[in-house]
Amino acid sequence: MIIPSLDFIQGKMVRLYQGNYNRKICYNIDIFKQIDNYICNGATCIHLVDLDGCNNPLYRQKNILSIISRYKNIAFQVGGGIRTQNDIEDLLNLGVDKVVIGTSAILYPDQFKQWLNKYGGDKLILAVDIKINNKNEKKIAINGWKTVTNINIEKIINNFIPYGLKNILCTDILRDGTFLGPNIILYKYLKKKFPKIILQSSGGVCSLTDIRLLIKNNIEHVIVGRALLEKKFTFLEAWRCWQKE
């Protein structure tokens, strides 16, 4: 599935370059018109990211909540600053289909295991934002990508699979917002090592060729943000590409 991504800072649609808040692009685009366009052209799921929440959980925006409440016939997956069980339940009660959790799962793995047991793997997506070092080690970044930990992605996934983990959203932060293309090698590796995981790729997509490569490598879902906002291709073109493959 092609999943369009819409990111926010202070109510404005933005895209960050490699997760850097000081290198952001702001878009003068009406969010509701953008979502309407995606829906009209076949979108069945929208990815919403509260970047203020990523940066500081105390600043979780109400804008995203107002967006979700306006649409009843499309699935939303939402991430950004989700730290507590109340955060999860507020979103699920509002009608969010899946809640995306990154930093808190890494910092408090036992808590995330409890959430997996309580809500099930169908309702939670583990966001693993990684930076690959010169040893090809896939280290996880947290707190809005400001901190790169010494934790490998393999360890985290293996830790949560026994508790029902099904969905992973993996972002190579050096590709995100760059138009450098997705990290196909990374995603092929993850699919081979964890074949039962439903994988969402994120970062670097800039052409329909990129999408075709991801499809051919059995990636279940592709998150696309900047390429759609800057009209590298339309959502309809991406959707048709997905259907053909």
| Residues taking part in catalysis | 7, 129
Residues with Cβ within 8 Å of 148's Cβ and at least 6 positions away in sequence, in order, are: 131, 139, 140, 141
Residue 116 CA to residue 125 CA, distance in Å, equals: 10
Residue 204 CA to residue 171 CA, distance in Å, equals: 9
Residues with Cβ within 8 Å of 158's Cβ and at least 6 positions away in sequence, in order, are: none
Q: Amino acid letter at 207?
A: S
Distances (CA, A) of 63 to 13, 16, 29, 78, 123: 11, 19, 15, 12, 22
Residues with Cβ within 8 Å of 85's Cβ and at least 6 positions away in sequence, in order, are: 115, 118
- Please answer whether residues 83 and 57 qualify as being in contact, where contact means their C-beta atoms are separated by less than 8 angstroms: yes
Give SS3 for 234.
coil
Give SS3 for 224.
strand
Distances (CA, A) of 217 to 1, 115, 242, 243: 13, 30, 13, 15
Residue 230 CA to residue 128 CA, distance in Å, equals: 26
